[in-house]
């Protein structure tokens, strides 16, 4: 495995960052996960635009997107695979042992790992912890992911692949690494970004391509929704067949199945789509 670290490509054994990197010591970093099929990325421009937004939200310098693109291309060329999870990590760089950021500049790591196509349907659970829709990191894709690790472990214990959060006012928000959609009276709805959810790239494309409506939804909508599905970089559009103890019959339902087909067709036709 070849990994890009701070300006160069290294063998996995030699790819190292300092133990004093702020991304390690205090979670001061951001990241993007990009799907790569046979060396070709999907929606890379949209992911890089969000990387910049996250950097600005965290107070990091804008990433050099030309360098990031070069790093992505180098990593994919050096590690050929059928389906890959391309991970771009951008951190606060070398810093003191504390919350104060150093002045040596940010760090950049790009790596890719092989993965497999997701199942057409999956099970999810809800968890008792909440997303803070008013937090300093709300809407930023940061490396401060321990909360998601805990929730996802709870989901795995329950035989599910994702955990869904409400926010502080009891509204449906998002999963640990996905956005959630529900079908009500045949219409697709998803929580708005104001709920505290991440503005997912796949979410935005699914909203635009399916005509989904952004709606404030109570968390218990999951108990009555006709259909439920998730979106994320590696899930694309994935139907949900169980929420907690509730089985959704015939998943994927007709609305979700149409959304899955539409997303697959549009994604195949344009590997670097834009919004609007």
The tens digit of pLDDT for each residue in 199-219 reads 999 999 999 999 999 999 999
What pLDDT does 222 receive?
A: 98
Instruction: For the chain, count helices (H), then strands (E).
Output: 6, 15
Q: Dihedral sign for Cα 252, 256, 261, 263, please.
A: negative
> Cα separation of 12 and 4, whole Å?
9
> Cα separation of 247 and 225, whole Å?
11
What pLDDT does 249 receive?
A: 83
What pLDDT does 47 receive?
A: 98
pLDDT by 10s per residue, the chain, length 276: 999 999 999 999 999 999 999 999 999 999 999 999 999 999 999 999 999 999 999 999 999 999 999 999 999 999 999 999 999 999 999 999 999 999 999 999 999 999 999 999 999 999 999 999 999 999 999 999 999 999 999 999 999 999 999 999 999 999 999 999 999 999 999 999 999 999 999 999 999 999 999 999 999 999 999 999 999 999 999 999 999 999 998 899 999 999 999 999 999 999 999 998
What pLDDT does 175 receive?
A: 98
> Cα separation of 267 and 272, whole Å?
8
DSSP state of 138: T
Answer left, alpha or beta for residue 27, where phi above 0 means left and psi between -120 and 50 means alpha. Answer: left
């Amino acid at each position: 495995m070849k990994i890009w670290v701070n300006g160069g490509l290294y063998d996995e054994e030699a790819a190292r960052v300092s133990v004093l990197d702020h991304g390690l010591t205090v979670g001061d970093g951001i990241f993007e996960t990009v799907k790569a099929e046979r060396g070709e990325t999907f929606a890379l421009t949209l992911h890089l635009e969000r990387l910049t937004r996250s950097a600005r939200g965290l107070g990091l310098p804008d990433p050099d997107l030309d360098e990031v693109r070069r790093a992505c291309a180098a990593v994919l060329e050096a590690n050929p695979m059928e389906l890959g999870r391309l991970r771009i990590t951008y951190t606060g760089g070398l810093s003191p042992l504390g919350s104060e950021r150093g002045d040596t500049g940010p760090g950049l790591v790009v790596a890719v790992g092989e993965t497999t196509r997701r199942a057409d349907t999956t099970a999810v659970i809800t968890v008792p912890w909440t997303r803070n829709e008013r937090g300093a990191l709300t809407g930023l894709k940061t490396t401060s992911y321990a909360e998601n690790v805990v929730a996802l472990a709870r989901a795995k214990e329950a035989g599910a692949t994702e955990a869904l959060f409400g926010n502080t006012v009891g509204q449906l928000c998002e999963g640990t690494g996905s956005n959630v959609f529900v079908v009500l009276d045949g219409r697709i709805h998803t929580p708005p970004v104001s709920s505290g959810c991440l503005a997912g790239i796949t979410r935005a494309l699914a909203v635009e391509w399916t005509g989904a409506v952004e709606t404030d939804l109570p968390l218990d909508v999951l108990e009555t929704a006709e259909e439920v599905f998730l979106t994320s970089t590696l899930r694309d559009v994935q139907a949900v067949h169980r929420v907690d103890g509730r089985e959704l019959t015939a998943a994927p339902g007709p609305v979700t199945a149409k959304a899955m087909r539409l997303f697959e067709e549009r994604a195949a036709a344009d590997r670097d789509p834009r919004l609007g």
